[in-house]
């Protein structure tokens, strides 16, 4: 004797709201993405303990300093004396600018000191010495 099922069980995942969920994720990733990435120079960062996170990538500008003394901003090499012009323009277009100094741990302080002077001349005063977290 064949028993007939009276009600058909609907066993489908509702797909109507799928685009909405995906759109939400999409918007999240769109907002958090910064498309411009610069490769910089090959460096090994120094280590430190009292580390702060940089608040926003949008307001951050990087200066790479290699151990040979090369200075790179946005993948272009600069002389120490011309940093002030580059950074001044950035400072004017973004008053919240934070400069992240990605210098090699073997870089010489004479050069870093020159960069300090240049940044002060360009009025880009918020500086961040990029470093890795030290573990002991």
Q: Which stretch binds other proteins (CB under 8 A): 2-10, 28-36, 73-81, 88-96?
A: 28-36
State the Cα–Cα distance between residues 122 and 83, nearest whole angstrom.
Answer: 8
61 binding other proteins? (CB under 8 A): no
In the list 71, 86, 87, 103, the residue contacting other proteins (rule: CB under 8 A) is: 103
DSSP state at residue 67: T
Report CA dihedral (92, 94, 97, 102) to the nearest 10 degrees: -80
Closest approach of other proteins to the CB of residue 2, in Å: 38
Rounded Cα gap, residues 127 and 87, in angstroms:
12
Structure token pair of residue 109: 């302080």
- The site for other proteins (CB under 8 A) is made up of 15, 18-19, 22-23, 25-26, 29-30, 32-33, 35, 37, 46-54, 57, 60, 65, 100-101, 103-110, 112-113, 116-117, 119-121, 123, 125-134
């Amino acid at each position: 004797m064949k028993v007939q099922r009276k009600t058909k069980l609907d066993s489908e995942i509702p797909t109507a709201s799928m685009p909405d969920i995906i759109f939400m994720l999409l918007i999240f990733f769109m907002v958090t993405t910064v498309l411009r990435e610069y490769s910089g120079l090959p460096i090994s960062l120094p280590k430190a303990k009292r580390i702060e996170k940089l608040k926003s990538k949008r307001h951050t500008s990087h200066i790479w300093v290699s151990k040979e003394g090369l200075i790179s901003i946005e993948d272009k090499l600069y002389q120490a004396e011309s940093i002030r012009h580059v950074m001044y323009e950035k400072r004017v277009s973004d008053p919240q600018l934070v400069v992240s100094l990605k210098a090699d741990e073997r870089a010489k302080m004479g050069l870093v000191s020159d960069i300090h002077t240049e940044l002060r001349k360009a009025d880009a005063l918020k500086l961040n010495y990029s470093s890795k977290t030290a573990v002991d």
